[in-house]
Amino acid sequence: MKHTNLKAVPDQPSKQEARQLTKYVRVRSAPGARFVEFDFAINEPSLFVELVMPQQAFEIFCEANAVQFMTDEQMAAVDAEMSKWRYGEETLMANNHDRSNKNN
């Protein structure tokens, strides 16, 4: 078996640069829930992972990562982008989805 030496990709940020990137959190669970369900993004709010942690671990995680909670505008932009991926644009499904949202 041949071993390959892996080298760091030159355009990857250094640890110091990575620490300086903005980390975003969007809580999805109800206040007071046993576990906190949330989205975590680095530098780009629309590219996130979904995580679940006990409340105390979430608080430690947020402090350790110096997170910023997403603004209402950022959350709306993320939701709009997710909707485009889910329903498409200018399709029957997208139009039906838009119409049902207007009736609510």
Question: How would you classify the pairing of strands 35-42 and 23-27?
Answer: antiparallel
Q: What is the pLDDT along the chain (104 residues), one digit of tens a residue?
A: 566 666 655 677 787 777 789 999 999 999 999 999 999 999 999 999 999 999 999 999 999 999 999 999 999 999 988 888 777 766 565 566 566 667 66
Position 72 scores a pLDDT of 96
DSSP state of 3: -
Task: Let me know: does 21 contact 40? Beta carbons within 8 Å.
Answer: no
> pTM for the full model?
0.69
Position 15 scores a pLDDT of 77
Residue 69 structure tokens: 């909670």
Q: From 59, 57, 74, 81, select the one nearest 22 (Cα to Cα).
A: 74
Phi, psi of 79 (to 5 degrees): -60, -40
Position 42 scores a pLDDT of 95
